[in-house]
């Protein structure tokens, strides 16, 4: 099926193709953002095995024990699924892919004050979308900047191959994998306002800062998508969903991949 949304300008599409990422504003109304606020505030007081397992006693010195990320909320919450399939986001993805996007994953990060960041990595190392690539839609629920743990991207690395990761610094990153940027390429901050959506290619090297503030969360709603012409994806991202909520089963990409089974990822990244 051919898509002709033309939601994006040629300049925006060119930026995504050359730099590997694009910020689009205005894809969520304030009313919609408030619904997302309430949904995940309610979830934050629950324990949902396999999806969200906080330590509600708040005795830990690690703020991520109280506020870990929520994994695949679309599998248990209809509001999360509806916003994973948010039409304005899917329209942008249709422009970027030139074909129908399929939703593969949803996540919500609370990123409380003091929380560690996430070391530089590449998303398609985990999703293993083939042929084609995954694209992330990263929605800022709070303003995101260098102080409260905003994103870092390494421009133009979307054309680089998937790299076998090194081990990250556990004092700064809550994840264990680290991908070193190519020589002469540096990570740059992405400053975003509430409601901005950052789209980026699955090979783009990216990560995030530690939240250095004492009183600001850096909440974000993050979804990953595959192109409809893809035939394979990693097992844990199945089933995928069309815009109308219909499930789609791609073939399962085996664990291991080019980096070997010692790099078998946890259930989600």
CATH number at residue 83: 2.60.120.620
Does a structural domain hold residue 268?
no
How far apart are alpha carbons 10 and 32 in whole angstroms? 28
pLDDT at 104: 98
Asked if residues 152 and 189 have their Cβ atoms less than 8 Å apart, the reply is: yes
pLDDT at 267: 42
Mutual orientation of helices 87-97 and 10-19 as an angle, nearest 10°? 70
Percent of the chain with pLDDT over 90: 85
Does a structural domain hold residue 83?
yes
How far apart are alpha carbons 23 and 50 in whole angstroms? 31
Q: How many domains does the chain have?
A: 1
How far apart are alpha carbons 89 and 83 in whole angstroms? 9
Q: Report pLDDT digits (tens) over 145-165.
A: 999 999 999 999 999 999 999
Tell me the whole-structure pTM to 2 decimals.
0.93
Does a structural domain hold residue 5?
no
Does a structural domain hold residue 28?
yes
For the chain, strand residue ranges (E) read: 21-24, 70-71, 101-109, 118-121, 134-140, 151-153, 166-167, 177-178, 188-190, 197-201, 206-208, 220-227, 232-234, 240-241, 247-248, 251-253
Q: How confident is the model at residue 259 (pLDDT cuts 50, 70, 90)?
A: confident
According to DSSP, the residues that pair with 242 across neighbouring strands are: none
Q: Mean pLDDT score of the chain, rounded to an integer?
A: 92
Residue 115: partners with Cβ closer than 8 Å, 6 or more residues away: 63, 64, 67, 149, 174, 210, 211, 218
Does a structural domain hold residue 57?
no
Q: Report pLDDT digits (tens) over 74-133.
A: 999 999 999 999 999 999 999 999 999 999 999 999 999 999 999 999 999 999 999 999
Q: How confident is the model at residue 6 (pLDDT cuts 50, 70, 90)?
A: low
Does a structural domain hold residue 241?
yes
Closest CA to 184 of 162, 152, 154, 159: 154
Does a structural domain hold residue 1?
no
Residues 254, 256, 260, 264, Cα dihedral to 10°: -160
pLDDT at 231: 97
pLDDT at 254: 81
Backbone φ and ψ of 163, nearest 5°? -105, 140
**CA-only gyration radius of the chain, Å:** 17
- Structural domain including 223 reads 10-52+62-263
β-strands 232-234, 251-253: how paired?
A: parallel
Euclidean distance between the first and final Cα of the chain, in Å?
31
pLDDT at 256: 57
Average pLDDT of 25-29? 96
Does a structural domain hold residue 2?
no
């Amino acid at each position: 099926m051919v898509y002709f949304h033309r939601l994006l300008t040629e300049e925006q599409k060119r930026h995504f193709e050359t730099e590997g990422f694009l910020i689009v504003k205005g894809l969520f109304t304030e009313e919609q953002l408030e619904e997302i606020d309430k949904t995940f505030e309610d979830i934050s007081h629950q324990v949902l095995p396999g999806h969200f397992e906080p330590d509600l006693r708040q005795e830990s010195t690690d703020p991520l024990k109280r506020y870990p990320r929520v994994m695949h909320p679309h599998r248990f919450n209809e509001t999360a699924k509806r916003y994973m399939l948010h039409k304005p986001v899917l329209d942008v993805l249709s422009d970027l892919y030139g074909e129908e996007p399929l939703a593969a994953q949803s996540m919500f990060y609370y990123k409380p004050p003091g929380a560690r960041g996430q070391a530089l990595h590449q998303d398609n190392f985990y999703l293993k979308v083939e042929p084609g690539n995954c694209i992330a839609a990263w929605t800022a629920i709070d303003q995101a900047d260098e102080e409260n743990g905003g994103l870092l991207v390494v421009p133009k690395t979307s054309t680089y191959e998937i790299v076998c990761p090194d081990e990250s610094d556990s004092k700064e990153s809550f994840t264990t994998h680290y991908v070193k940027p190519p020589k002469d390429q540096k990570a740059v901050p992405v400053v975003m306002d509430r409601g901005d959506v950052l789209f980026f290619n699955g090979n783009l090297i990216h990560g995030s800062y530690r939240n250095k503030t004492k009183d600001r969360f850096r909440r974000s709603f993050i979804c990953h998508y595959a192109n409809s012409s893809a035939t394979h994806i990693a097992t844990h991202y199945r089933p995928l969903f069309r815009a109308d909520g219909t499930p789609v089963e791609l073939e399962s990409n085996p664990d291991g991949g080019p980096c070997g089974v010692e790099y078998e990822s946890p259930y989600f990244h």
